[in-house]
Amino acid sequence: MTAAAQTGSSHPTSIPVRRVRLPFDESIPRDWLAGNLLETHVFNGLNLVFPDGERFFIRSVHDHLEYVTDPELRAQVRAFAGQEANHAHEHERYFEILRAQGYRFETFLRRFRRFLRIVDRILPKSLRIAITAGAEHWTATLGALALDDPFMDDAHPTMRKLILWHAAEEVEHKAVAYDVMQAAGIGWFTRVLGYGLATISLFAWSGFATRMLLRQDGVDREKLAALRRHAHEHGRTGQPPPRIGRAIRAYLKPGFHPDQVDDGPAARRRIAEMGLAVQGG
C-alpha cells in the first residue's frame, strides 16, 4: 500500500529536496519587511526558533521509523528530513546578518535549546511526534498564507525568497509527520494535546524573540504603537485571517488529514516563480 492510499491523500507522494543557498549580505536592512521593524521582527523571531525546532521535528519523526513499513512513506520521511535540514542551515546563515547588524541572541538560543533538551528527555516519544505533527500543521498553515499574500512583495528579495521557499516546502511535506504519527497508532487525544503544546511553544518562544529584538532596537510603547499604525495604514490589521480559525477547527476533528486542504498549487506556483522547480532530486 502506498503512503497516499494509507492516508487517503490524493496528492503526489514525491517530495523534492532542493539545495538552496541564498545570497545573504549587507544589502539586507534591519527593517527588511515593508520598512517596518515590528513586522520584520515577527519574522525574525520565527527565524530564530526554526533551526533547532526543525531538528527536533526530524528527531521526533526518526524516533518512529520502526512503525513506518510503507516504502513511499519512508521515502517521504527521508525527503522531509532533507528539506528541514536545508531550512535549518539557511536560517542559521541568516543569523550572521543579524549578528552583523548588532543583535545579540545567544542567550535566547541557549535557553531555547535547553527547553528542547528537556522536552526530549521528559516527554514520551508519542507526545513528541504529536507536537511535531501539530507544529507542522501550523507551519503549513502559515506557509500557505505567505504564499498567497502580496505583502511578501514588500520584503527584501533575499528574505522574500527565504520565506517563500520555506513556506512552499512546508506545504509540500505537511502530511509526513502526521502520517508517521498515524502509522504509530497515536490517537486523537494525544494528537490534540500535542497540537496544543506545539501552539503554546511556537508562539511563546517566537514571541519572546520578537520582543527581545524590538527592545534591542529601542522600540518602546510609543514606537510600537507607531509601527502598528503604520502596518494598519497599509492594510495589515494584525488580526488573524479566517483561514487560521478554520485550520485550528479542522485539526481538532477526529477525521482530519492535512491533505484535505489542497494548497499545493500555490506552492508549485511559487517554486516555479523562484526558478526552483527543476532543482528537485
pLDDT in tens, the chain (281 residues): 334 434 434 344 689 999 999 999 999 999 999 999 999 999 999 999 999 999 999 999 999 999 999 999 999 999 999 999 999 999 999 999 999 999 999 999 999 999 999 999 999 999 999 999 999 999 999 999 999 888 888 999 999 999 999 999 999 999 999 999 999 999 999 999 999 999 999 999 999 999 999 999 999 999 999 999 988 887 776 677 888 999 999 999 999 999 999 999 999 999 999 998 644 43
Within a domain: residue 23?
A: no
Residue 14, domain member (yes or no) = no
Q: Is residue 222 one of the residues assigned to a domain?
A: yes
- Which range marks the domain in which residue 70 is found? 30-279
Residue 13, in any domain of the structure: no
Look at the chain and report how many structural domains it folds into.
1
C-alpha cell at 141: 498553515
Residue 8 covered by a domain: no
Contact 257, 1 (CB under 8 A): no
Exposed, middle or buried, 16 (CB in 10 Å: 0-12/13-18/19+)? middle
Residue 158 within any structural domain of the chain: yes
Nearest-CA neighbor of 197 among 120, 135, 243?
Answer: 135
Number of H helices, E strands in the chain: 11, 0
Q: Which of 167, 93, 109 is nearest to 136 (CA)?
A: 167
Query: 214 in a domain, yes or no?
Result: yes
Q: Work out the end-to-end distance of the chain between its first and last CA atoms, rounded to an integer number of angstroms.
A: 23
> Could you tell me if residue 9 is inside a domain?
no
